Chains A and B, each alone.
Chain A
Amino acid sequence: MGKHPEYQDWEEKELAASLKRFPERKEKFANHGGEEISRLAVPDRIDDTYLENIGFPGRYPYTRGVQPTMYRGRFWTMRQYAGFSTASESNRRYRYLLDQGTTGLSIAFDLPTQIGYDSDHPMAAGEVGKVGVAIDSLADMELLFDRIPLDKVSTSMTINAPAAVLLAMYVVVGEKQGVATHKLKGTIQNDILKEYVARGTYIFPPKPSLRLITDTFKWCTEHTPEFNTISISGYHIREAGSTAVQEVAFTLANGITYVQAALDAGLELDNFARRLSFFFNASSDLLEEVAKFRAARRLWARIMKDRFNARKPESQMLRFHTQTAGYTLTAQQIDNNIVRVALQALSAVLGGTQSLHTNSRDEALSLPTEDSVRTALRTQQVIAHESGVTSSVDPLAGSYFIEELTDRIETQASELIGKIEKAGGVVAAIEDGFIQRQIENSAYEYQQEIEKRERIIVGVNDFQIEEQTKPPLLRVNPEVEHDQVQALKELRAKRDNEKVKKALASLSACARNSSNLMPEILAAVKAYATLGEICQVLREVFGEYRG
């Protein structure tokens, strides 16, 4: 029997094009023994159900992955989320990570930065430099990327409410390094909707927040075509306690909301949709997680094609970053976390992730030490180079169990999205508390199972031991807050305050009408207006959201 015509068509089109553009890592993929490993295993009989639901990698509905050769072409980006203390100290950690073989940066900002407060704001007390790096102005951003060429790395920034401001700072740092803006690569999280239900770093109410987001979509489409303008995140929804199905449903429902907001703002679908990206959690139920990633990819492709009439393949592809599940880490017998993380990371790779952060073993105790971070990164490298799972595309496809689970997650997530739409959409469902209640109920059930020992967590409610030795922990230098406040004071004395005042007034005027905020934010950033000052101007116009 010859090849199914559709299979042949895929080989001649997507596969051939991909091999031409990105040759595979090796000429021949073989096991120990020299036997060649299939690039893509397919059923003997390809039927319509297979074509409709599973298909081929790099082709609609993308169940098997977004690239035809997946990790045979290139591994996922190994991107470790990091940042603490001052910009200089974080800069040292990034350069260490790059030396150790990470292939992308991922910036953690401290909470005052994420909520648009300068380090000397009363609300910032105690939080400066704690969960990430403190960035008050362009001056800090310059230190953060010192000796890191922005044309060589891609940078992901976990920043939401003030994402436009941090993006502007990044663009200006690039300019100062002599890097053309259109060459910048990276991602801003820029996903405010999940902040209202799960993560909590909102500033403004939903409507002006969505405007900021569509303004960045528009600006980036024209100026930074290689930048992901949003990372629509299920990660934190899962961390807050949702199930796998809820994670997919709430994330894609948020995605639909952003697409609709951009369309309503007059943007062209196939111009902005290719730069939407996603971010999922890799939790402990290995096979359910693999199925979840595959189901999310298929469901999004269907939504984009059928509902929004996306024509370009790139607009239909769900590309995603993954982080292993922080909530599964235990403070007891912390070395066990290395094993948990390895299994979770494996699920992300078997599910076809584009980039991955592996958590460190000591993160239920504090920020990770350098040694723990290295082990976390090594875990990815072992999966990439030793496990063999990267030699064949979507190797679990066709497993009765995996396909059944993939179908179930897609169906249930789709039903839940339907419920949200019936309730008036995501914003209404947030205001009503529907989404928060769903997450909270799931979190409660999960924890009760642990309390009742219906769910065993090794080292926590079974297999406990008395632990004698305490692991060394990373402590954030308590001087950070003081130093940061001092530097801010000097900046305010040194800069051209007339220029700052003018830029802020102009930003305020822009916020009151409906033109794009990005050029005004860029001007303010260049004048060394602080993040807090810029956000204060926007707070005055947009108001503040209170959860």
Chain B
Amino acid sequence: MPEQKKTHRVLIGKPGLDGHDRGAKFLARALRDAGFEVVYTGIRRTPEEIAAAAVQEDVSAVGLSLLSGAHMSLFPAVVQALKNAGAGDIPVLGGGIIPDEDIDLLKEAGISEVYTPGTPVEKIIAAFRSACEKQEARRT
């Protein structure tokens, strides 16, 4: 029998007040289909709630989705909340309606990847896989 591949656990979160969850739900399901274990927070969560869930569920990566334009404050707030919860090593990926010029700023603020509309889901899944592998290697 071939060696059983380890299942990666990830959390998909919707910080702030934005209710547009079509993308978040699609990605959660696509990741599940690709063999990930996915925790989806539901909409309207605070950065602290997302960080607490990430710690409790012991995930290897966090994905955030936001279409309301509040990404510049809320994405870094999740990174900070993870640090405060002693989980600053968990990689955070982001996506949504995000102008190009914000992407570098978000990366400086600790978001490892940022994806905008039209990105093929395979690319996003690959990014989660690689983020999880790195994180799991770090932790073991």
Contacts known (A200-B44, A239-B22); A366 close to B97, Cβ less than 8 A: yes
Contact (Cβ within 8 A) B116 A123: no
Contacts known (A200-B43, A367-B69); A451 close to B121, Cβ less than 8 A: yes
Please report the C-alpha to C-alpha distance between residue A122 and residue B20 in the assembled complex, in whole angstroms: 20
What string of 1s and 0s marks CB contacts (under 8 Å) between B15-30 and chain A? 0111111100110011
Contact (Cβ within 8 A) A130 B121: no
Contact (Cβ within 8 A) B118 A331: yes
A153 within 8 A of B: no
A269 within 8 A of B: no
B87 within 8 A of A: no
Contact (Cβ within 8 A) A130 B69: yes
A322 within 8 A of B: no
A545: shortest Cβ distance to chain B, in Å? 10
Please report the C-alpha to C-alpha distance between residue A331 and residue B119 in the assembled complex, in whole angstroms: 10
Please report the C-alpha to C-alpha distance between residue A199 and residue B16 in the assembled complex, in whole angstroms: 14
Contact (Cβ within 8 A) A460 B118: yes
Residues of B contacting A: mostly: loop
The interface stretch among B3-11, B54-62, B70-78, B106-114 is B70-78
Contact (Cβ within 8 A) B19 A201: yes
B122 within 8 A of A: yes
Contact (Cβ within 8 A) A199 B117: no
Please report the C-alpha to C-alpha distance between residue A331 and residue B22 in the assembled complex, in whole angstroms: 16
B72: shortest Cβ distance to chain A, in Å? 7
Contact (Cβ within 8 A) B22 A241: yes
Please report the C-alpha to C-alpha distance between residue A239 and residue B74 in the assembled complex, in whole angstroms: 24
Please report the C-alpha to C-alpha distance between residue A123 and residue B73 in the assembled complex, in whole angstroms: 12
Please report the C-alpha to C-alpha distance between residue A457 and residue B119 in the assembled complex, in whole angstroms: 12
Contact (Cβ within 8 A) A240 B118: no
Given A125-B73, A366-B97, 11 other A-B residues pairs in contact with their CB atoms under 8 A: A115-B44, A127-B16, A195-B19, A239-B20, A239-B22, A240-B21, A241-B22, A330-B117, A331-B117, A443-B26, A470-B100
**A binding-site residues for B, Cβ under 8 Å:** 111-112, 114-115, 117, 122-127, 130-131, 195, 198-201, 239-241, 327, 330-332, 364-367, 440, 443-444, 447, 451, 457, 460-461, 470, 473, 475-476, 547
The 9 A-B pairs at the shortest CB distance, nearest first, are namely A200-B19, A126-B73, A111-B17, A126-B70, A130-B69, A331-B117, A460-B118, A127-B70, A200-B43
**B binding-site residues for A, Cβ under 8 Å:** 16-22, 25-26, 29-30, 42-44, 46, 68-70, 72-74, 77, 97, 99-101, 116-118, 120-122
- 7 A-B pairs with CB atoms under 8 Å apart are A111-B68, A123-B17, A126-B74, A364-B97, A366-B99, A443-B26, A451-B120
